[in-house]
Structure 1
Amino acid sequence: MPAANIVSTLIEAMPPGLVWTGRRMAASSASGWSTGFAALDAELPDRGWPRGTIIELIAARPGIGELGLLQPMLRQTPRKRWVSWISPPMLPYAPALAEAGIPLSRMMVVDTRDNAASLWACRQALGSRACHTVLAWLSRIDTSGLRRLQLAAETSGTPLFLFRPEHAAVQASPAALRLQLEANPDGLRVRILKRRGPPTADVVHLNLNAHTHAVDRADPAGPAASGHYTRCV
C-alpha cells in the first residue's frame, strides 16, 4: 500500500477532532461567538468569531461599516465585563450605540498619546481578563508586536479586533482570522484572507442595514455629550 494511503487510513482511524487536515475546516474545543450574520458564520471554523486570538479587520479607510459588523457581539457584553476601545480614529457616537442596544456602561474608550502607548493599553486590557473583547486601532505594528498581542489574547481567552489599513493585508500575521472589508450600498463585502481551515476565494456579502444602526461616525458634540461610557486619557 502506498505511504500516502497508509497515512490517510491511520488518520481516519483516529478519534474525530484529534487531527486536523488542511482540506477541512478547523474547529476548536470552544465554540465561537456568532457574528450575527449567518452567511459569515458559515465560512468561519467555529461558526463565529474565534475566542482568544487576534481578528484583523482590514479596510481602505475607517467608517465604512466595520463597527456595524461587530454590533451583534457588542450587544452581548456581560454586565461585569468591559469592551475596551483603544485609540479609535473617531469618538464613538454614544446615542447611536445606545440605540443599537449596546450597553454604554460597559464601554471604555482609551485615548493614548502615541502608538507605543496604544500597544501597552492593548496588552493591559487583554491581561486584565476583565474584557469581553478589545477593539484597537494601531497606526503601525510589526510582526513581533503582533505575536506579543496574540500571546496575550490566547492567555486571557479574549478576542482582540485589530482595525488595520489596507496595506497591512500583505504583512505576515499570527492572527487566526483576517478579513478584508469593502463598502457596498447596503453593507459590506467581506473577503476572508486567512482562517483556520482551507483558503477560500468567495466573497461574503452582508446587508448591514437590515441588522444594525449607524455607529461609524464621530460624536459632533464631543466628550460632554457622550459621557455615558467611560473615557480614559
Structure 2
Amino acid sequence: MLASPTRMAAPQAAAALLAQMPDVVWRGNQMGSYRAVTTPSGFTALDRELPNGGWPASVLIELLLAQPGIGELRLLAPIIASLTQARKTVILMAPPHIPFAAALTELGIDLTHVLLVEADKPADRIWAIEQTLKSTSFGALLCWLPQCRADHLRRLQLAAAGCEGLTFVMRPANAQHESSPAPLRLACRAAPSGQLSVEVIKRRGPVHAQPVILPLAVPAVLHQPFAERVRVPDFSVTPDHAVDRPQFIATAARYRTALPA
C-alpha cells in the first residue's frame, strides 16, 4: 500500500517548521538553542554540554553549590577576564566572602571593571539584582542567593530576558530539587586535585549523562605564605570596588518598593 502525498509531506513540513524556530521549539532528544548570543565558557568539555556551545545571555544561569567558595569564581574566571579586558563591568552581588583581589588579578581579571555590592537582607538583594538587570551597561552579574522564593526567581528571569548581559545565580545545592524558571541549571561540587565537578541538571536538550570534571586554574599567589602574598587594591577598602553597606541599605529603603521577606 502506498502512502498518500499528504502523509509523506507532513514530516518534511514539520521538520521545516522546527528549523525556522530553533530557539522556540526543540525535541527532548536534541540539543536546543537560545535566541541570544552565547559566550564560550573557556572549557571545551563544558561548552559541548551547553546549548549553542556557551553561556547564554538574557536568561538566569543557576549554579547550585555544595558550599560557597568551592570554585565558582574560578569556573567563571575565563568569562569574567574576557569581559573586564573588554572594559565591560562585572558585578559581584553579595558574595559570602570578600574575593581575594590578588588571585583575581592573576586570573586575568581587570579589577577596575569589577563592582562589589553588599546587601544582607534577601529583599535588598532581590531589589538590587532587578535594578542591575534593568541596565544595559553590565557584562555579567554574579549574585549569591542563599534564600530565594520561587516567585522572586520568576521576576528575575523576566528581568534578565530584557538585558544582554550574563546573569549567574549561586544557590545552595539543596535547591536542586526545587522548581526553577532558570532554563540552565548546573550542580557544582568539589572534585579531587582542585578540580570541579559540574553536572548539567537542566538545559534545553537531552538528559545529561554524567558530570564534567573541569581542571580549574589555581593562582600561584594562593600557594605563597599569607605574609608574602602580593597585594593589589583590596575590595574591602577601595571605594571604586565596593558599595558601602549602610549607604546601600538607605538607598534601597528610599527607592525600592517593599518586597515580601
TM-score range (shorter-chain normalised) is 0.7 to 0.9
Larger displacement relative to structure 2 (4-13 or 68-77): 4-13
State, as a whole percentage, how many aligned pairs show the same letter: 37
| 1:125 correspondence with 2:128 | no
The structure whose Rg is larger is: 2
Q: Paired residue for 2:41?
A: 35
Compute the RMSD of aligned alpha carbons: 2.9
1:133 CA drift (Å): 0.7
Q: Paired residue for 2:17?
A: 14
Change (3 A) 1:224 1:23: closer
1:70 CA drift (Å): 0.1
Larger displacement relative to structure 2 (32-41 or 106-115): 106-115
1:28 CA drift (Å): 2.5
**TM-score, normalization: structure 2?**
0.79
Q: Indicate the structure whose relative CO is greater, using CA pairs within 8 Å and at least 6 residues apart.
A: 1
1:10 CA drift (Å): 2.6
- Name the aligned partner's letter for residue 185 of structure 1: P
| 1:157 correspondence with 2:164 | yes
1:80 CA drift (Å): 4.4
* 1:75 paired residue among 76, 81, 84: 81
Q: Paired residue for 1:137?
A: 144
Q: Counterparts of 1:84-233 in structure 2 under 5 Å?
A: 84-186=91-193, 187-209=195-217, 213=219, 227=238, 230-232=241-243, 233=245
Assess if the C-alpha contact under 8 Å between 2:139 and 2:165 holds in 1.
Answer: yes
User: 2:236 & 2:181 partners in 1: Cα distance?
Assistant: 39
Gaps of 5+ in 2: 246-261
- Name the aligned partner's letter for residue 15 of structure 2: E
**TM-score, normalization: structure 1?**
0.88
Assess if the C-alpha contact under 8 Å between 2:77 and 2:107 holds in 1.
Answer: yes
1:110 CA drift (Å): 0.4
1:5 CA drift (Å): 8.0
Assess if the C-alpha contact under 8 Å between 2:190 and 2:196 holds in 1.
Answer: yes
Q: Any idea what the Cα deviations from partners look like across 1:27-60, whole Å, max 9, x if unmatched?
A: 1344311000000000111100011111111112
Gaps of 5+ in 1: none
User: 1:180 & 1:84 partners in 2: Cα distance?
Assistant: 22
User: 1:150 & 1:82 partners in 2: Cα distance?
Assistant: 20
Specify the SS of the correspondent of 1:157.
coil
